[in-house]
Amino acid sequence: DKHTFDSERADPPPRAATSEPPSEVSSLSSFASESESLSPLVVVKRESVVRRLDVRHALRTANGKFHNPWSLSWEAPSLARNLLRLGRSAHLPSRAELDRLLPVLEPDFASTAPPPDSTAITWLGHSTVLVRMDGVSVLTDPMFSDRASPSQAVGPKRYRRAPCSVHDLPPDLDAVVISHAHYDHLDRNSVLVLNARFGADLRFFVPQGLGQWMRALGVENVVELEWWQESHVPDKSDVSFVFLPASHWSRRTLNDDNRVLWGGWAVVGPTQRFFFAGDTGYCDAFRQIGRLYGPFSAAAIPIGAYEPRSLLRCHAVAPEEAVEIHEDIGSAFSLAIHWGTFALTDEHYLEPPRRLRDALASARLPAESFVAFLPGETRVVSSGGRVVRSSSQRLKGFE
């Protein structure tokens, strides 16, 4: 099934072969593939224990498209409808007011390195997070460009700059995880620069259907997974990368809707567990994820780009639903993502953290258990969610 996003085709640069083929997938995938085709019952083997859970495969039709099992009747919006929405302002104030309310911090990765039995989390804007735990460094949905668009001349533009560049990242980056193919989560330029800097030493974990696009850009160290499959980086087999279900969709060109799978990721180490939700609506998968892989030391959960609800309810959580995910997965500490960077939808740009604060209060959860960072901010948290080190400042604009 040819799938290379022809409008983005690039000649791959010369690159030495990867020393270890990026093809290993744990016994979890073989158990899943041997179970009933498209059955809601999937046999999962982990840590020598076989458990039978009520989980759902992504439904894939004969034409190669994935279907969202929580939104089977939904159709992707037309390109014309998307273009009409490119001018959203999110009620943005002046640059000076943005600098006062939502200042961009310069990350200091050296001073915030995590001690043993802790996780360091740095928010780099939108859904880009640097996570350091159990001896691995992981980058989620890298977006360092000015626009979330196939062109840097048009399309949604950042109203808060990236806190750092790819070249400022720590040199020991082990892995990148991609949640899906939308432009605000999969940025071609960022992938190219990451590959140019780190080469075959950096492993990209991507959803099923995206591997060929990555290889067309010259990325050789790529592992392509379906839901409930897991893998690892070379020489660090004690840390698992698990691709997990989400309620969303995927499209990048006029005729490729839902040909790439979407989902979230769990990074499971010997002392720490991190969950990255990507972009998703609320669904019962999160309770199942919590049962199988939780509780989590830390998580990154979206809180923004959710209005109008009539269009986005199935595919983007509001802050109240983000709090439900936080509880479902058993997260000790959650970082709010998918807000404060691009004006993609109708809500005021500061509404997501305000509603998050109120939702936590309504759920009688501590305000410090689920936090909206400033861009560039780092917090180091223990397994129990206690912040042991921080570069934080108080987020303003809640008055």
Query: Tens digits of per-residue pLDDT, 97-122?
Result: 999 999 999 999 999 999 999 999 99
- Degrees, nearest 5: CA angle 178-181-187: 75
Q: For position 39, what pLDDT does the model report? A: 32
How many CB atoms are closer than 10 A to CB 326? 28
**Residue 282 pLDDT > 90:** yes
Closest CA to 305 of 276, 340, 277: 340
Contact 131, 121 (CB under 8 A): yes
* Mean of all residue pLDDT scores within the chain: 83
CATH class of 30-73+98-390: alpha beta
CA 209 to chain centre: 17
How many CB atoms are closer than 10 A to CB 19? 9
Structure tokens at 85: 């929405």
Q: For position 49, what pLDDT does the model report? A: 34
Q: For position 328, what pLDDT does the model report? A: 98
**Residue 12 pLDDT > 80:** no
Instruction: Please indicate whether residue 249 or residue 224 has the higher confidence score (pLDDT).
Output: 224
Amino acid at 151: S
Q: For position 392, what pLDDT does the model report? A: 66
Q: For position 258, what pLDDT does the model report? A: 81
Query: For residue range 299-330, what is the model confidence (pLDDT) as tens digits?
Result: 999 999 998 888 887 888 999 999 999 999 99
Say what percent of the chain tops pLDDT 70.
78
Contacts of 44 (CB under 8 A, 6+ apart): 28, 31, 32, 50, 51, 52, 53, 55, 228, 292
Q: For position 77, what pLDDT does the model report? A: 57
**Residue 14 pLDDT > 90:** no
Q: What is the pTM of this model?
A: 0.85
Q: For position 299, what pLDDT does the model report? A: 99
**DSSP one-letter string for 197-215:** HHGGGSEEEEETT-HHHHH
Domain boundaries, the chain: 30-73+98-390
Beta bridge partners of residue 45, listed in sequence order: 50
What does the alpha-carbon distance between residue 2 and residue 211 come to, in Å, rounded to a whole number? Answer: 11
User: Which range has the worst mean pLDDT, 82-86, 175-179, 322-326?
Assistant: 82-86
